[in-house]
Chains A and B, each alone.
Chain A
Amino acid sequence: MLLPPLLHDGAGVAGGFSSGLLHPLTGPDHLAAMVAVGLWGAFLGAPAIWLLPVIFPLVMAVGGALGVAGVAVPGVETGIALSAVALGAMVAAAAKPPLPFAAILVALFAIFHGHAHGTELPESADALSYSLGFVISTGLLHLAGIGLGFAVEKPAGRTFVRACGAVICLAGLGFLFGVL
């Protein structure tokens, strides 16, 4: 058994991993934006459906590294809220811009999300297991979005996915203006 204090304060391998795993899930702004990435990927189809979930963690790691190093990135919280607004709006509008545009937009927002995770890396945690936890959690949220996004193949499903995008966009506005 790991010692109870190590589990509860996020220390050790198991504590660090579980802290990292829970971090994106406990922030509704992170959660909404990650699901939106997956939904949008499904809307855009191949190769975006696999390219976006591959690009996002890599660029997020760069943002995380900046956060860990204490490099200030202006407007992180605003950027995270805006990511939910923009990505939700893209899904709601069923927007299909050129792939480089989609990739750059997603990568830009990934910096903000990564920076927030990196800055909040607990002092006591095993850093690698924490980062593994939050990268995996982020990826699973993308996969959840992609899974939901497969509904676009049917007309009713397409409406449902677009409605999900609208809800995420509205939630993003709520985060942006401090209503949520």
Chain B
Amino acid sequence: MTPLFLLHNPIEGIGSFYGGVLHPLVVPEQALLLVATAACLSQQGLEQLRRALPPALVALVAAIFLQPRLGWMPPQSLVLILGMLIGLGVAARLRLPAAVSVALGLLCGLAVGLGTDVDTIPAGEELLFQSGAGIGAGFALLCLAVWLETAKRPWQQIVVRVLGSWTAAAALINLSWQLVQG
């Protein structure tokens, strides 16, 4: 496992805000879930994307700021299972009802937000870190989903499906690793 201090301060001297921005990218299970969710929502078309993204972003930001009060983080295996299932859906190019897309967006936002803890952040800089984490994860989800939605050509849609199979595969191997490690 990556030491916590590297997750929260991946580049020496970068500061709490930018450390927060980079946080979802240096926590692989969060990056994987964000990519899988963005790809899945993008496959559902612009209309569903418009419905699913705002609640996802609100859930993300709310969960980030509520995390220290709740003191609960979703287990890594739960985030990986979610990422694996969504990745399989992307590989199979599942068409989802609008309500399911909204629920997926919410789940992703909550999982990433609640997984962003501030335990090792210097006192007084928690808000900076949380703001950075919200902006980093939010922009990653938003930009990736909108960008992938523009993938209309057949070969581009294949690339999105391949992306789904990669995320599912990586999550599955890691889940087995966790199972073995206990």
A residues sitting closer than 8 Å to B (CB atoms) are 1-2, 6, 12-13, 16-17, 46, 49-50, 53-55, 57-58, 60-62, 64-66, 68-70, 114, 118, 121, 126-129, 131-132, 135-136, 139, 143
**A126-B166 in contact (CB<8A):** no
The 20 listed contacts between A and B (C-beta, < 8 Å) are: A12-B2, A12-B6, A13-B26, A13-B28, A50-B162, A53-B158, A57-B162, A65-B172, A65-B176, A68-B176, A69-B176, A69-B180, A126-B2, A126-B28, A128-B29, A128-B177, A129-B2, A131-B174, A132-B166, A139-B165
B-side contacts of A127, CB under 8 Å: 173-174, 177-178
- Does B161 sit within 8 A of A, measured CB to CB? yes
Taking a contact as CB atoms under 8 Å apart, the answer to whether B179 and A61 are in contact is no
CA separation between A49 and B154, bound complex, in Å? 11
C-alpha spacing A60/B172, complex, angstroms: 10
List residues of chain B with CB under 8 Å of any chain A CB.
1-3, 6-7, 10-12, 26, 28-29, 32, 80, 88, 91, 154, 158, 161-162, 164-166, 168-180
Given contacts A1-B12, A132-B28, contact A139 B166 (CB under 8 A): yes
Q: Give B176's nearest chain A residue, CB to CB.
A: A65
**Contact among B3, B10, B170 for A61, CB-based, below 8 A:** B170
| Assembly CA distance A135 to B164 (angstroms) | 11
Which of B154, B164, B173 makes the CB contact (< 8 A) with A64? Answer: B173
Chain B interface helix/strand/loop/mixed: helix
Report how far A12 CA is from B165 CA in the complex, Å: 24
Give Cα A54–Cα B11 distance, bound, in whole angstroms. Answer: 35
- With A126-B2, A128-B28: A57-B169 Cβ-Cβ less than 8 Å: yes
Q: Are B162 and A118 in contact (CB under 8 A)?
A: no
Q: Which of A53, A114, A128 contacts B162 (CB 8 A)?
A: A53
Within the assembled complex, what's the spacing in Å between the Cα atoms of A69 and B3? 24
Contact between B180 and A68, CB atoms less than 8 A apart: yes
Q: Please name 20 further chain A to chain B contacts, defined as beta carbons within 8 Å, in addition to the given A12-B3, A65-B175, sorted by A numbering.
A: A2-B10, A6-B6, A13-B26, A13-B28, A16-B2, A17-B28, A53-B158, A58-B169, A64-B173, A68-B173, A68-B177, A70-B180, A126-B2, A127-B177, A128-B28, A128-B174, A129-B28, A131-B169, A131-B173, A135-B169
Identify the closest chain A residue to B7 (Cβ): A13
In chain B, what residue has the closest Cβ to A3?
Answer: B6
Given A64-B173, A131-B170 in contact, is the A58-B91 Cβ separation under 8 Å?
yes
Structural contact, B161 and A54, CB atoms closer than 8 A: yes
Instruction: Give A2's nearest chain B residue, CB to CB.
Output: B6
